[in-house]
Amino acid sequence: MAEVFKLGDLVWAKMKGFSPWPGRVSNPSKDLKKPANAKKSAVQCIFFFGTNNYAWIEESNIKPYHEYKDTLIKSNKSGAFKDAVEAIEDFIAKGEVFEDGLDPDSLFDRLKEDSIIVEKKTPKIKLRKETPKTRRSDSSGGEGRRSAKKQRRESSTSNSNRDTLESVSPSLNHSSSPRKSASTLLDRPANIARPVTPPLDVETLSQTLKEKNILPSTLKFGFLGLGIMGSGIVKNLINSGHSVIVWNRTQEKCTDFVKAGAEQGLTPSDVVLAADITFSCVADPQAAKDMVFGNCGVLMEISPDKGYVEMTGIDAETSQDIAEAINAKGGRYLEAQVQGSKTQAQEGTLVILAAGDRSLFDECQSCFEAMGKNSFYLGEVGNASKMNLVLQLMAGVTLAGLAESMALADRAGLQQKDVLEVLELTSLACPAVLDKGKAIIEGGFPTQLPLQHMQKDLRLSLGMSDQLEQPLPLAAAANEVYKHAKRLGYGEHDASAVYIRARF
């Protein structure tokens, strides 16, 4: 007998191309339309824990959460899956009420507003100044006869009051002596607001792009994702004369690119339909899969005359899964991982690591010239992802080491600018280390490469090491440091914000 699900039920739901995932039967978000060919009783809208995505799932692919919990938890060991299970278990333990109809961004904004209201209602602690009592003196010198125990107690009270006073005005300036920060149990600073990202000047050509003198391809190119890397890449595609159609989850981000000459697609499938070759550059492996297998996704319009290029930082297994799906419909697939940051993306000086269909690599050459200073073809699908993770592991461990070194210098009473000045004269000097060192000293951590992306790459590197049984003790330790910094609220700051965890 078929299961009957109602609004609010906790379930396991399976999308094509994914393992069963913990979710909840929900009302659809405002932008999620029911598939035109779906029968009313045949599908349910599912909110997926961990990813905070919604999707229409056929009831045959939905199972009750508690009944299948023990079996399905054992079947998936990925970090994202464990986070999703933890999220649904927290939901159950706290007896939370999820407000259906709110998309994840609106829900987050509401939670943020609630936290601000709570903070305003919290009474401030006022320090009461103690008036010392007049002591009775005696001929034996009563003041001098106070017990050592009492002196220690008064000294401890004095230190406590001084710490409380210092906590009223937390500081992150790097002085020679350690200072108390926010009035919390863990002696850590108040969260530093992420610096406002200046708007990207889409229509102005960079000097680097002018010097390249690129002959643009006559093909039409789609681009999915206008995030911190994607926006810089698309800017250079447009300004080098390529015909581009763009899509982004937040449609407002497309406006400036449309003004500069791009077209806009309403869905990823619309972009694929209109373009000869479509690039994708989104947040992580899960988002990359959603782009391909999700509602109105890439796979709906892939055909033998279409090419798909995955630029998202992903693992080899995810890339191979996407390649199989694209190839099964006759399309061509290329993974093109990028080495570089926001600045290199905007200047067109990235390094592109590609693998997969060689003919597609050749057809994308004019695009790769606009994006970067060099491109490499590494053979079969998966090789580029592996190469990228190897390089990201080096970068992540190096940055964690830099953060700890700068924290040690500060604690030892050394001036951090002096450390960087000396470092610049040694064989350790390189642009990446010097740039991150300056970001640590300035303390604002403007985002070049988000900390959460660096931690994601370290996690994927560790996953690859598990499969190959290659020990990575330094990477494992660095990953924990980044995870903690992310937990403290620095995931969207630059990766150099790992310094906060190293110092505090």
Is 87 a domain residue?
yes
Task: Say which residue, 22 or 154, is predicted with more confidence.
Answer: 22
Q: Give whole-number Cα distances, 434 to 78, 395, 446, 482, in Å.
A: 35, 13, 15, 20
| H or E stretch at 67 | helix 65-73
The model's confidence at residue 168, banded by pLDDT at 50, 70 and 90, is very low
* Residues 377 and 395 both lie in one domain: no
Is 80 a domain residue?
yes
* Residues 351 and 476 both lie in one domain: no
User: Per-residue pLDDT tens for 337-350?
Assistant: 999 999 999 999 99
At residue 342, the 3 state secondary structure works out as: helix
The first and second tokens of residue 94, run together, are 């706290």
277-280/307-310 β-pairing: parallel
Domain termination site, one of 349, 381, 413 = 381
Give the least confident one: 85-94, 146-155, 174-183: 174-183
Average pLDDT for the chain? 83
Average pLDDT over residues 474-488: 95
Is 123 a domain residue?
no
The percentage of residues in the chain with a pLDDT greater than 70, rounded to a whole number, is 78
DSSP state, 246? E
Dist CA 380 CA 334 (whole Å): 9
Sheet holding 332-339, edge to edge: 263-264, 243-247, 220-224, 277-280, 307-310, 332-339, 350-356, 372-377
The first and second tokens of residue 124, run together, are 């401030």
The CATH number of the domain where 80 resides is what?
2.30.30.140
User: Per-residue pLDDT tens for 54-97?
Assistant: 888 888 889 999 888 888 887 777 778 888 898 898 888 877 55
- Identify the pLDDT of residue 38: 60
Is 16 a domain residue?
yes
Residue 503 has pLDDT above 70, yes or no: yes
CA 47 to chain centre: 20
43-48/21-25 β-pairing: antiparallel
Is 399 a domain residue?
yes
Domain of 462 in residue numbering reads as: 388-503
Task: Say which residue, 197 or 270, is predicted with more confidence.
Answer: 270
Average pLDDT over residues 108-114: 49
Is 174 a domain residue?
no
Beta strands in 362-466 (DSSP E): 372-377
Is 140 a domain residue?
no
Beta strands in 19-155 (DSSP E): 21-25, 43-48, 53-58, 62-64
Q: Give whole-number Cα distances, 236 to 172, 351, 371, 405, in Å.
A: 37, 14, 6, 37
The CATH number of the domain where 491 resides is what?
1.10.1040.10
Which residues face 280 on adjacent strands?
224, 310
* Residues 229 and 340 both lie in one domain: yes
Residue 144 has pLDDT above 60, yes or no: no
Report the number of distinct structural domains present in the chain. 3
